[in-house]
Amino acid sequence: MLLLEVISGERLAKPERGKMRVHKISNVNKALDFIASKGVKLVSIGAEEIVDGNVKMTLGMIWTIILRFAIQDISVEETSAKEGLLLWCQRKTAPYKNVNIQNFHISWKDGLGFCALIHRHRPELIDYGKLRKDDPLTNLNTAFDVAEKYLDIPKMLDAEDIVGTARPDEKAIMTYVSSFYHAFSGAQKAETAANRICKVLAVNQENEQLMEDYEKLASDLLEWIRRTIPWLENRAPENTMHAMQQKLEDFRDYRRLHKPPKVQEKCQLEINFNTLQTKLRLSNRPAFMPSEGRMVSDINNAWGCLEQAEKGYEEWLLNEIRRLERLDHLAEKFRQKASIHEAWTDGKEAMLRQKDYETATLSEIKALLKKHEAFESDLAAHQDRVEQIAAIAQELNELDYYDSPSVNARCQKICDQWDNLGALTQKRREALERTEKLLETIDQLYLEYAKRAAPFNNWMEGAMEDLQDTFIVHTIEEIQGLTTAHEQFKATLPDADKERLAILGIHNEVSKIVQTYHVNMAGTNPYTTITPQEINGKWDHVRQLVPRRDQALTEEHARQQHNERLRKQFATQANVIGPWIQTKMEEIGRISIEMHGTLEDQLSHLRQYEKSIVNYKPKIDQLEGDHQLIQEALIFDNKHTNYTMEHIRVGWEQLLTTIARTINEVENQILTRDAKGISQEQMNEFRASFNHFDRDHSGTLGPEEFKACLISLGYDIGNDPQGEAEFARIMSIVDPNRLGVVTFQAFVDFMSRETADTDTADQVMASFKILAGDKNYITVDELRRELPPDQAEYCIARMAPYAGPDSVPGALDYMSFSTALYGESDL
């Protein structure tokens, strides 16, 4: 009857003496019915056995009741009641030495297990450090007394019985330990809440570290670009070919040594950014927005400016080398022509200033007059050379020749001297004409000699000048043109030799007349200073220069043939590498949009492509070496290929970036699939829907394409204001950076995020409330007691002071902090 009252909570009437057994059985049956209604299975237990005092049956029923109402509800990590209680004890006593809980009998004999449970939750009640394993009675009595006095747990066990028994009763120990579990269940909830907060804070700390790493890497890369662009934009010309060649070598070092690591950094920066955004989406955090000027698009823009400056700098270097080469050629040509002209004008002014006609005889005057006419003819013949000298000087000025002042001074001196010669020539002619009536005719043969010798002498000087003239060519066709012109010149030599013999014949005839008629001619031709010896000497010089010119043209022809071989060697490799890069780009594009195999298969396939691409690098380096040989040979064009080294470099860099970006996209898809619990069939369905509306195979969907895809998947998005607002909300999720496109990764995140089991701000807030003991605020001591040191300090540094009416000194606002973790407010 007492058992029935305890279970049902009702006061039963005491039966009369005569009807005692019947009433007892009735009362016990009511108790047994109540126990059965609570889900307790009673096997072979009846009211008669209990009324008759069957001790075994009665004790078995009592254990069943204890097991149902005190132990059965205990569950740790989805284990059974007994296993869950044992696991709870093991976890709570794990930090204590000499405590090893493996069961509910001999593991508790020394009493340290009970003391450890009390000390773990209420360390102020027991000085655990003073307990000894060899004194079990003291340990057990201490634990039982403290539990009864401070934890309201009745003393169900006797210390002497436990110590004196080889194997203590398992059910008794289990019943007593369950009392500790229920007494400390509130602390268990606090520990669970602390674990949840630690998990959330760890994710937040990791994401913040990734953001700091991105900001630093982006800042360093932008700073390198900012320092490099002014160097590439520096167009300060050099005065010598050697200095410009050094600049070109510095530029090659930049291309080979300094830029490739930065290309890798840029690619790694994009990969880190995409990985960070994926982790933020998976942890239900807002998208990461880098500092102003450090977006991926900003870095791409800065990189584009760098490559534009690089291209312009290379073009400028090559143009400057061409200009300096042209300047050196023109300067040498100017010096040669100026030296020839100065040598010709030497003494001409003194000759024109002579007044020998005043004391000359008539025949001498006539001779002087004719001589002057021949000089004027020679002067007119030299007019072209003076004009050429002036034209070369003008071109040197236009091309900014560094020694233009000295060239201009020399040219001005020649022009002034030329003008003075013209004035002196005119003045002498006038003087001779005044006395012409006093003169007699002079020997016509001398005059004929002078008239024919002067142009012939001028021709020889021109021939010597042309044969000594330097030349610059860039193709075999140009050198063949010079060779053809030289052969044509050699074909004219026989006729020129006939003219020389004719002129010498005139001179010989004059000598014969002088000797025959004893004419007093003072031994020289009065009409010209050109002697037969001078004609013969210049003719011999021309004949010597011809084979030298042949040798120079032959050497240049060989050099151009070598250059042509370099062109063909470069073109042969470039015509293979260029299409190979394009083919690999197309194959990678097909892999990224096709659905052959699992994501792991696609990732494996892409890594094989990446390996084959990396193994292709030696061919790129070989092509770079051929390109360097071409540049060192000053070859500026190549008709055998449409590919330049710049095209190959850009294609190669784009190929490396594309394969790395595609691998990162597939890795993020795997990360999303595993985190969201998406099956491979679902991922294939997502890819099929995405590809169906990606009609241009760009790997992204425009807003209208994405909207059509959503409608096909069952989303009700109409053209009314409500539908437009809903679509705008969805676009803000899949395109947080407002780029106007939706990637496949963002599409998969959207399709799976609605059903994902992720932490929320409310869950974190509820966890903090448990740690705070249902208060609206939490204190510094509570945070440091319940959380690991580093995460406790993290919360203390970021939580705002609590300003509610129930605030106390040092109270912190965990609600605003929890909301800020998920981007719903500012920390």
pLDDT tier, 214 (very low <50, low <70, confident <90, very high otherwise): confident
pLDDT tens across 497-534, in order? Answer: 888 889 888 878 766 755 664 544 555 777 788 888 88
pLDDT tens across 610-620, in order? Answer: 888 888 889 88
Percent of the chain past pLDDT 70, that is, above it, reads 84
Range among 336-350, 510-524, 704-718 with highest mean pLDDT value? 336-350
SS3 19: coil
Map tokens 């062109």 to a residue: 567
Helix 296-345 and helix 383-398: axis angle, to 10°? 160
pLDDT at residue 4 in the model: 39
Neighbours of 790 (CB within 10 A): 11
Pick the CATH number of 352-530 from 1.20.58.60, 1.10.287.3510, 1.20.1530.20, 3.40.50.10490: 1.20.58.60
Least confident of 118-122, 568-572, 577-581, 801-805: 568-572
Mean pLDDT of 66-72: 56
pLDDT at residue 10 in the model: 43
Task: Report how far Cα 190 is from the mean position of its chain's Cα atoms.
Answer: 47
- In sequence order, what are the beta bridge partners of 800? 813
pLDDT above 70 for 755: no
Mean pLDDT of 432-444: 55
pLDDT at residue 516 in the model: 67
pLDDT at residue 690 in the model: 73
Mean pLDDT of 761-767: 80
Map tokens 């307990």 to a residue: 131
Helix 81-93 and helix 170-183: axis angle, to 10°? 70
3-state SS record for 609-635: HHHHHHHCHHHHHHHHHHHHHHHHCCC
Distance CA 92, CA 191 (A): 11
pLDDT above 60 for 73: no
pLDDT tier, 7 (very low <50, low <70, confident <90, very high otherwise): very low
pLDDT at residue 5 in the model: 42
- In sequence order, what are the beta bridge partners of 813? 800
pLDDT above 90 for 115: yes
Can you read off the two tokens belonging to residue 701?
Answer: 């969907």
Task: Report how far Cα 544 is from the mean position of its chain's Cα atoms.
Answer: 63
Map tokens 């006061």 to a residue: 11
pLDDT at residue 11 in the model: 44
Distance CA 424, CA 422 (A): 6
- In sequence order, what are the beta bridge partners of 743? 700
CATH topology of domain 570-740: Methane Monooxygenase Hydroxylase; Chain G, domain 1 (1.20.58)
pLDDT at residue 141 in the model: 92
Between 596 and 196, whose confidence is greater?
Answer: 196
Mean pLDDT of 112-138: 89
pLDDT above 90 for 98: no
pLDDT at residue 102 in the model: 92
Distance CA 569, CA 454 (A): 53
Mean pLDDT over each residue of the chain, to the nearest integer: 79
Looking at residue 176, its amino acid is: Y
pLDDT above 50 for 442: no
pLDDT above 70 for 827: no
Yes or no: say if 357 and 431 are a contact pair by the CB < 8 Å rule: yes
pLDDT at residue 786 in the model: 85
pLDDT above 60 for 661: yes
Give Rg (Cα) of the chain.
54
Distance CA 796, CA 201 (A): 12
Q: Where are the beta strands (DSSP E) in 657-706?
A: 700-701
Domain extents in the chain:
196-326, 352-530, 570-740, 761-822
Cα distances from 540 to residues 58, 149, 316, in angstroms, run 146, 135, 46
pLDDT above 80 for 192: no
Yes or no: say if 180 and 143 are a contact pair by the CB < 8 Å rule: no
Q: Where are the alpha helices (DSSP H) in 346-382?
A: 348-353, 362-381
pLDDT at residue 2 in the model: 41
pLDDT tens across 730-740, in order? Answer: 888 878 888 88
pLDDT above 60 for 201: yes
Mean pLDDT of 244-249: 76
Cα distances from 494 to residues 69, 488, 537, in angstroms, run 134, 12, 17
pLDDT above 70 for 465: yes
**Residue 800 parent element (H or E):** strand 800-801
Q: What is the dihedral of CA 649, 654, 660, 666, to 10 degrees?
A: -160
The DSSP code sequence of 463-484 is HHHHHH-----SSHHHHHHHHH
Distance CA 120, CA 94 (A): 10
pLDDT at residue 812 in the model: 92
Least confident of 130-139, 207-216, 239-248, 335-344: 239-248
pLDDT above 90 for 306: no
Nearest to 303 by CA among 225, 405, 205: 225
Distance CA 109, CA 116 (A): 13
Between 240 and 758, whose confidence is greater?
Answer: 240
pLDDT tens across 25-66, in order? Answer: 778 777 777 777 766 666 667 777 777 777 666 766 666 666
Distance CA 488, CA 26 (A): 144
Between 329 and 3, whose confidence is greater?
Answer: 329
Can you read off the two tokens belonging to residue 29?
Answer: 């049956």
Nearest to 503 by CA among 459, 543, 462: 459
Looking at residue 784, its amino acid is: R
pLDDT at residue 181 in the model: 84
pLDDT above 70 for 470: yes
Looking at residue 627, its amino acid is: H
**Residue 801 parent element (H or E):** strand 800-801
Cα distances from 304 to residues 200, 254, 657, 661, 667, in angstroms, run 40, 17, 14, 18, 27
Cα distances from 337 to residues 396, 415, 462, 469, 486, in angstroms, run 14, 13, 10, 9, 20
**CATH-assigned architecture of domain 196-326:** Up-down Bundle (1.20)
pLDDT at residue 753 in the model: 66
Yes or no: say if 825 and 816 are a contact pair by the CB < 8 Å rule: yes
Yes or no: say if 443 and 516 are a contact pair by the CB < 8 Å rule: no
pLDDT tens across 562-602, in order? Answer: 887 887 888 888 888 889 888 888 777 776 666 566 778 77
Distance CA 24, CA 281 (A): 67
Mean pLDDT of 704-729: 78
Nearest to 126 by CA among 164, 105, 96, 101: 96
In terms of C-beta density within 10 A (0-12 exposed, 13-18 middle, 19 or more buried), how is residue 122 classed? middle
Looking at residue 319, its amino acid is: N
Mean pLDDT of 153-182: 87
Does domain 761-822 fall under CATH 1.10.238.10? My reply is yes
Percent of the chain past pLDDT 90, that is, above it, reads 4
Mean pLDDT of 231-236: 77
What are the phi and psi torsion angles at 812 (to 5°)? Answer: -115, 145
Range among 414-418, 766-770, 794-798 with highest mean pLDDT value? 794-798
Distance CA 77, CA 86 (A): 12
pLDDT tier, 542 (very low <50, low <70, confident <90, very high otherwise): confident
Mean pLDDT of 164-171: 88
pLDDT tier, 3 (very low <50, low <70, confident <90, very high otherwise): very low
Cα distances from 731 to residues 266, 278, 717, 725, 742, in angstroms, run 28, 17, 12, 10, 8
Can you read off the two tokens belonging to residue 768?
Answer: 């903090």
SS3 700: strand
pLDDT at residue 6 in the model: 40
Mean pLDDT of 447-469: 84
Can you read off the two tokens belonging to residue 283?
Answer: 């942890």
Same fold, 196-326 and 570-740: yes
Range among 36-40, 156-160, 687-691 with highest mean pLDDT value? 156-160
